[in-house]
Structure 1
């Protein structure tokens, strides 16, 4: 790689509150001219919204718009085909900036290496440009702190699952762990309710919406009627060993 190449940063922004950014993330967002971020077509982008008033006056923005979100099932071959082309195109656009000798920050909600879109760019960028990842507080950490209760004790086993799993698999995972985080709830809330009930843990389950963001809401699953599709996490707190 040329010594004159710019560096590509995957910067974790944390769960949504600007004052939960790390010092390094704050500095990079404020000082770097090229700012890239993912968004759904026609939307401003959640990641950009977190840092909107932090960007330089001369910031050059690169909005990477998903070609598909929920319109095609994840197990449909067309989904992977379209997303693969999309990530390859994003990689090329970032490399063009780096090859011009400029640094670029890719804004990442939560932590870049925790179920984030940046991971798909990182694997494609390695070996072609200098890449640095700045960790961020995960959304699930923001969620369990929103409940104002410790989440894991002593030897508790923590399991993180996606609500997109088949119902019988959800039941098994929920039943067989101490502390639980369920992400990607959205349209799967009814299925998740049934799975939590079948595992006998409804009374221990909490829903957290928009953790660490304006509009944060913490509700027991048994009392929740509907949730915001994207920014919702289900939690079951561990109750393990303690002095």
Structure 2
């Protein structure tokens, strides 16, 4: 029996209309579907796919054992997540080795800060794995500001807000255009870093890019409290143009 394929399918930033034709086709044909979620939640990727999956699809919800409950610097964090990804990969490999194709639903693009990367790393030497790329959340975010993120020879720098403040300052200072992700509770640190660089007035904050509740506002108008998971900060490049 030929092994099936595990598909990491990027669904885009949130609006189902921004999904690729290939992604939509795979969802409509899927017999087995897997997706990540927090316990007790439907899961954002599953919400995006709602309406495209057939009622016959067998669903496998992969529930994170931890998200923010343990600091990422705690050795237990990596240990718990490693065991979790290994268990999920084993389940998907078993299905593929039995000849079944499996569609793994992925928010944004599977290879850009996505959980699927950890499954891909564990599965690629065991069963066939293919990835369907997608529009990223940051692309939807700068589109929401109605301004290009880069001009001419601008260099785009993508930063996680989890970096130490001094490193954020150094990288923002040296950058032309900037995207900051993984903000969450790091909002006060990011505000301080932007103030230290003098680039705070240039920055924008976009919540829920491409979704019904989308908000794009100058960073200066945002408070210091935690922001939703789907929040991205931007500084637009001002490079060469005709």
Q: Give TM class, smaller chain.
A: over 0.9
Give TM-score, length-normalised by structure 1: 0.97
Distance 1:29 1:55 in 2: 6
1:23 paired residue among 13, 21, 24: 21
Alignment partners' CA distance in 2, 1:227 and 1:90: 30
**2:100 match:** 102
Shift of 1:17: 0.5
**Bigger mean CA offset, 178-187 vs 226-235:** 226-235
Q: Which residue does the alignment assign to 2:50?
A: 52
In structure 2, the residue matched to 1:36 is: 34
> Which digits, 9 at most, give the CA deviation of each residue in 1:110-152, with x for residues without a partner?
1000010000000110121110000010100010001011110
Cross-structure match for 2:155: 157
The offset of 1:107, in angstroms, is 0.4
Counterpart of 1:233?
Answer: 232
Alpha-carbon separation, structure 2, partners of 1:78 and 1:57: 38
User: After TM superposition, what 4+ stretches of structure 1 lie above 6 angstroms from structure 2?
Assistant: none
Output the CA distance in 2 between the equivalents of 1:227 and 1:47: 22
TM-superposed deviation, 1:218: 0.4
Deviation at 1:227, TM superposition (A): 5.5
| Counterpart position of 1:188 | 186
Counterpart residue number, 2:109: 111
Taking structure 2 as the reference length, the TM-score comes to 0.98
Using the alignment, how far apart are the partners of 1:6 and 1:157 within structure 2?
40
Please report how far the alpha carbon of residue 228 of structure 1 lies from its aligned counterpart in structure 2 after TM superposition: 3.2
Whether 2:169 is the aligned partner of 1:171: answer: yes
How many Å separate the matches in 2 of 1:177 and 1:57? 48
2:142 is aligned, of 141, 144, 148, to 144
Match of 1:219 in 2: 217
* 8 A Cα contact 2:142 2:149, kept in partner: yes
Q: How far does the alpha carbon of each residue in 1:40-91 deviate from its partner, in whole angstroms, 9 at most, with x for none?
A: 1111100000011111111100000000000111111000000000000000
Contact 1:15 1:211 survives alignment (8 Å): yes
- Structure 2 unaligned blocks of 5 or more: none
Provide the rounded CA distance (Å) in 2 between the counterparts of 1:118 and 1:98.
Answer: 16
Matched with 2:91 is 93
Once residues 181 and 121 of structure 1 are traced to their aligned partners in structure 2, the CA distance between those partners, rounded to angstroms, is 26
3-state SS, counterpart of residue 53 of structure 1 = coil
Give the superposed CA RMSD: 0.9
* Unmatched 5+ stretches in structure 1: none
The answer on whether the counterparts of 2:207 and 2:228 sit within 8 Å (CA) in structure 1 is no
Count of matched residue pairs: 241
| 2:73 aligns with one of 75, 81, 98 | 75
